[in-house]
Structure 1
Amino acid sequence: MTESTTAARLRGAWKGVHRGIHRGAAQVDTATPADRDRAVDALRAFAILGVVLGHWLVTALVADGGGTGLHTASPLQHLPWLAPISWVFQTLAVFFLVGGHVATRGYTSARARGTTYGQWLRSRLSRLFKPVAAVLVLWTVASVLLLLSGTDVDTVHTLCKLALSPLWFLLVFAALTAATPLLRRLNPLWPLAVVLHVDLLRFGLGGPDWLGWVNLAAGWLVPFTLGAAWTRGELERRRAGWILLTGGAAATAALIAWAGYPASMVGVPGAGISNLNPPTLAAVTFGLAQCGLALLLRGPLRRAMRRPLAWAAVALLNLSAMTIFLWHQTALMATTATALTAGHLPGLHTVPDDLGWVAARLAWLPLFTLVLALCWAAFRHYEQGPRRRSGRRSTVVRSHAASPGTEAEVRHHV
């Protein structure tokens, strides 16, 4: 076989793949109801990607001495000037904004159809918690096997803590979702006032640290109830987005510059105060700025999502959102632990204290993505259900077409 023949066959194969991708994207685009607000799905997809990339960039598992133990570290601990990275990738406020919008819209639509609260809540929570069982089972088995193999208890604790840390988010999100009927009319200023007073008591008057956990609910209530205000049509004007963006950014800058709040919007090992665990006033005002930017981007995102390829990618990511969210830390740890057999590799097992580590970590991201894709292939059916035979219209598409207020994603047939 000549070199030119091989090249021609490769070009032909690539063209076939290219045509197949475009056909699949066109099918997703055609199956999507015309009245679906694709910007909502795009914002959710960006929020999930922000969380995943943020964790992959700022979470380091450093190998202990000459042994095989691992402990957590962060480049933000050694390179505090990298704090702006957390401003880009700490996107949970956007997820709660979209979640509040979708939950209140879906509940209103369900009530109009005669669906009971219990039926609506079961359908909402089942997709959240079905994938959790697989994570819990795998890490229970893995922990037992690691302990039996002689792995240090502290290392096992570190791995389990990282793997299961996403569950706190699901519990808070589920609680707010369950309270949707009570929160539909709640003004976001009320939970914001709670966060303000809690921080005044903690940091200004020397109150107990445990008081901060009140903000775990109140802090995320702010973007969630902003989502409800979006559903009520109160945030349609661009002025609302600009007020949130500029006001939130100015308040956050003032809190960091003059009130002593950390610049990082994620937790940093060894730091006296974490903006995220539990949420502080600075994290909430930063979330307001993010929500304002998200609202301003709705128009451009709607236009971008008219492109079939872009929309298909967003739809697929939304369809697997919980699987990706739950398994991305496992992908990081599986890569790190497996590669430990090859020695202490830069960007994986070394102390994240210079730009060399950052460059090496960026080089590892494709491998993290590949391992996450394997996790997705293995566990996606817990979230998506069994695949359907080609040619049958998905119940997801049918249910969404009947009720544009639901959160169901578009499923494609490729």
Structure 2
Amino acid sequence: MRAATPVDRDRTVDALRAYAVVGVILGHWLVSALVSEAERPAVWQGASPLPDHPALVPATWFLQTLGPFFFAGGYAAARGLRSRPPGSWLTTRFARLVRPVAVLAAVWLPALLLLRVTGAPESTRHVVRSLVTHPMWFLLVYLVLTALTPLLRAAVIRWRTWPVLPLAALIAAGDSGWVSWPSPVAAPVGWAVPYLLGIALAEGVLPRRTGLVLAPAGVIAGAALVLLAGYPASAVGVPGAGRSNLDPPSLFALALAAVQIGVFLLVRPGLAGLLRRPAVWAPVAVLNLAAMTLYCWHQTALLLVTFGGLLAGPLPGLLDPPDGAWPVYRLLWLPVFGLTLAGLCRLFHRFERPKPAGR
């Protein structure tokens, strides 16, 4: 662990990345409800607790952590690019991102074929496909921004953080309907904003005092967008709602990212001192070393537990409609999901960081 996390790493950015990883995983586990039909338990439909539990919406502001994800990614990319030739750096970076996804595909493509040949209902296969593949859109956006890092870093070096303004304006144009941006274009444009801010931190042009602007401005902008402009309050999509803040990222998503990054900048000095304690740093280091493996396999953990629940019969919080006390029961399942994910991580983490040749 010491060799993989040298002393010159910025542990505060690693802590932010760890928070982002945990936020995404818990968020998916808490909103990914699988409902089986009473008469045909093998027939599943996807659902979400958010329509029946609007009081859970504030939790999405803490668990939707893509802004911190891309911020930490921009920081790491700029630091890596500074010390290596662009071609070599990009090849290594792509390999580290693509390898865990290739292993996931090598496992799930035969598994999906097996579900089909054994007669699993189409709705069940659709839900399983969606849970496994939907998180991968994030990696596609990440790959695009990684490829653009040399240009984005050059823009930050020349114009500091000002390039975020035209990017935000493009998202505003899409939100307003002035311009019709397809999601594959809008997503990289929107998430380039926190990615650029991460590059700015790496290049020393994002001082702590910027948090005094980002955090309150994000809160005010987010409140105005919801209360005055009719944006959804949920940071993630809600089934049945006519609009989503996440697909593609809206101005509300950028406002939330501004709050999260602003708070991070403000607490960073104190956080740095806290992370010097081995007991605090150890879990952060572990989460960073296995970030891609955890991300790729967390929905598989949920599915494995759910398949086991199907064999055990109806279990609250697992295959029942997400109404009533469902959120409470789902919280009780989180340790089971976590243990299952830990087992999967132990099995597949070797593909994220393979041993050097000759060892």
Q: Smaller-chain TM-score range?
A: over 0.9
Partner of 1:124 in structure 2?
93
Q: In the alignment, which of 62, 70, 76 is matched to residue 102 of structure 1? A: 76
In structure 2, C-alpha distance between the alignment counterparts of 1:33 and 1:158, rounded to whole Å? 41
Partner of 2:297 in structure 1?
327
Which one-letter code corresponds to 2:19 in the other structure? F
In structure 2, C-alpha distance between the alignment counterparts of 1:305 and 1:169, rounded to whole Å? 28
In structure 2, C-alpha distance between the alignment counterparts of 1:178 and 1:388, rounded to whole Å? 27
Partner of 1:396 in structure 2?
none
Are the equivalent residues in 1 in contact too, given 2:5–2:285 (CA < 8 A)? no
1:41 correspondence with 2:10: no
- Percentage of identical aligned residues: 47
Report how far residue 388 of structure 1 moved. Answer: 10
Are the structure 2 counterparts of residues 31 and 275 from structure 1 closer, same or farther at C-alpha, using a change threshold of 3 Å? closer
Q: In the alignment, which of 193, 198, 211 is matched to residue 222 of structure 1? A: 193
Are the structure 2 counterparts of residues 31 and 48 from structure 1 closer, same or farther at C-alpha, using a change threshold of 3 Å? closer
In structure 1, C-alpha distance between the alignment counterparts of 2:356 and 2:115, rounded to whole Å? 34
Q: In the alignment, which of 82, 90, 94 is matched to residue 56 of structure 2? A: 82
Question: Which whole-Å deviations, capped at 9, do the CAs of 1:33-82 have from their partners, x for residues lacking one?
Answer: 43321111111111101100111111111112321111111111211121
Report how far residue 214 of structure 1 moved. Answer: 3.4
Report how far residue 31 of structure 1 moved. Answer: 8.0
Are the structure 2 counterparts of residues 379 and 211 from structure 1 closer, same or farther at C-alpha, using a change threshold of 3 Å? closer
Aligned Cα RMSD in Å?
Answer: 1.9
In structure 1, C-alpha distance between the alignment counterparts of 2:50 and 2:299, rounded to whole Å? 18
In structure 2, C-alpha distance between the alignment counterparts of 1:30 and 1:357, rounded to whole Å? 44
Are the equivalent residues in 1 in contact too, given 2:4–2:289 (CA < 8 A)? no
**Paired residue secondary structure (2:51):** helix
Which one-letter code corresponds to 2:119 in the other structure? G
1:344 correspondence with 2:314: yes
1:139 correspondence with 2:108: yes
In structure 2, C-alpha distance between the alignment counterparts of 1:65 and 1:246, rounded to whole Å? 48
Partner of 2:350 in structure 1?
381
Report how far residue 232 of structure 1 moved. Answer: 2.4
In structure 2, C-alpha distance between the alignment counterparts of 1:374 and 1:239, rounded to whole Å? 42
Question: Which whole-Å deviations, capped at 9, do the CAs of 1:236-278 have from their partners, x for residues lacking one?
Answer: 2x32012101001110111011111111101112211111011
Are the equivalent residues in 2 in contact too, given 1:241–1:295 (CA < 8 A)? yes
Partner of 2:30 in structure 1?
57
**Paired residue secondary structure (1:83):** helix
Are the equivalent residues in 1 in contact too, given 2:219–2:256 (CA < 8 A)? yes
State which drifts further: 175-184 or 301-310.
Answer: 301-310
Which one-letter code corresponds to 1:176 in the other structure? L
Partner of 1:233 in structure 2?
204
Aligned residue-pair number: 351
In structure 2, C-alpha distance between the alignment counterparts of 1:212 and 1:316, rounded to whole Å? 33
In structure 2, C-alpha distance between the alignment counterparts of 1:387 and 1:178, rounded to whole Å? 25
Partner of 1:357 in structure 2?
326
In structure 1, C-alpha distance between the alignment counterparts of 2:233 and 2:122, rounded to whole Å? 33
Report how far residue 357 of structure 1 moved. Answer: 0.8
Which one-letter code corresponds to 1:35 in the other structure? D
Point out the structure with max Rg over C-alpha: 1
Q: In the alignment, which of 174, 183, 189 is matched to residue 165 of structure 2? A: 189
**Paired residue secondary structure (2:50):** helix
> Tell me, which stretches of 5 or more residues in structure 1 are unaligned?
1-27, 393-414
Report how far residue 32 of structure 1 moved. Answer: 4.9
Which one-letter code corresponds to 1:121 in the other structure? L
Are the equivalent residues in 2 in contact too, given 1:135–1:326 (CA < 8 A)? yes
Q: In the alignment, which of 229, 232, 245 is matched to residue 275 of structure 1? A: 245
1:261 correspondence with 2:231: yes
Which one-letter code corresponds to 1:53 in the other structure? L
